[in-house]
Amino acid sequence: MCPLYNDTPALYGISINSFVLDENLIDAVPPERARKIRACRFMNDRKRSFAAELLLEKVLGKDAAFRVCRDGTGKPYIEGGPHFSVSHSGDWAVLAVCGKPVGVDIEVCSTFRDTDGIARRAFHPAEYADALRDIKMFYKIWTAKESYIKMTGGGLTGLSNFRVIFTNSEGRIEEAPNAVIRGFDNISGYAAAVCSVDGVDWPRQILTLD
């Protein structure tokens, strides 16, 4: 099977409901991550973790997962390969891949979370009122901030120490103007965002895979 990535920035998603996970599949991933998958207590947690491996294989090639390293901040990378970032939540895992540094985050838009408490602790004061006014905006801000942290491997330490300013689906970090956010909402019930440096042309939707 040929890798899907062709040097064009892209965001791919896969539902954990689209495959059945068994021990033979887990045996095929790198041993360290196979141990982490098996250490998950619940099956859906195992499937979310495995889904990231499945996306790497489908998008970057069968051997990609075996070439993943981590830098000093813990951020994963592939020696000589494109930049990538993975995230999972609920029934979905996503993979962003690009020729430049990138971070991605996806979140279930749950009304059961303590959005007030999270916004007070983790959001910039200027974001707080917007986040509480609209649940969709709360998740739009949250995924944007998480994607920036993942792109930089730490960045402006602490989610409350920087502010995201949105214009429609695009956002920027006030304190880091070269960082650009693209929001995605084409998976019903979820919010997602990618962060990259200025000038990267992201698609308008997450490409979902079987």
| Measured distance CA(104)–CA(84) in Å, rounded | 9
Examine the pLDDT at 204 and tell me if it is beyond 70. Answer: yes
| Measured distance CA(93)–CA(88) in Å, rounded | 4
Mind listing the pLDDT tens digit for each residue in 35-58?
Answer: 999 999 999 999 999 999 999 989
pTM of the model: 0.93
The pLDDT value recorded for residue 100 is 93
The pLDDT value recorded for residue 137 is 92
Q: Tell me how crowded residue 7 is: count the other CB atoms within 10 A of its CB.
A: 9
Mind listing the pLDDT tens digit for each residue in 134-178?
Answer: 899 999 999 999 999 999 987 666 788 899 999 877 899 999 989
Q: How confident is residue 179, by pLDDT bands cut at 50, 70 and 90?
A: very high
Q: 94 Cβ partners below 8 Å, 6+ apart?
A: 11, 12, 13, 55, 86, 87, 88, 104, 106, 192, 206
- Token pair belonging to 138: 């709360």
Q: Delineate the domains of the chain, giving CATH numbers in brackets.
A: 10-104 (3.90.470.20), 105-196 (3.90.470.20)
- Token pair belonging to 82: 């494109």
Buried b (16+ CB within 10 A) or exposed e, 32-55: ebbeebeeeeeeeebbbbbbbbbb
- Report the side by side order of strands in the sheet with 176-184: 102-108, 190-197, 176-184, 170-173, 164-167
The whole-number average pLDDT for the span 122-128 is 91
Mind listing the pLDDT tens digit for each residue in 53-70?
Answer: 999 989 998 888 788 888
Q: How confident is residue 202, by pLDDT bands cut at 50, 70 and 90?
A: very high
Taken in order 19, 23, 24, 27, the sign of the CA dihedral is positive
Examine the pLDDT at 12 and tell me if it is beyond 90. Answer: yes
Mind listing the pLDDT tens digit for each residue in 89-124?
Answer: 999 999 999 999 999 999 999 988 899 999 998 899
- Token pair belonging to 33: 């991550």
The pLDDT > 70 percentage for the chain reads 98
In the beta sheet, which residues pair with residue 125? none
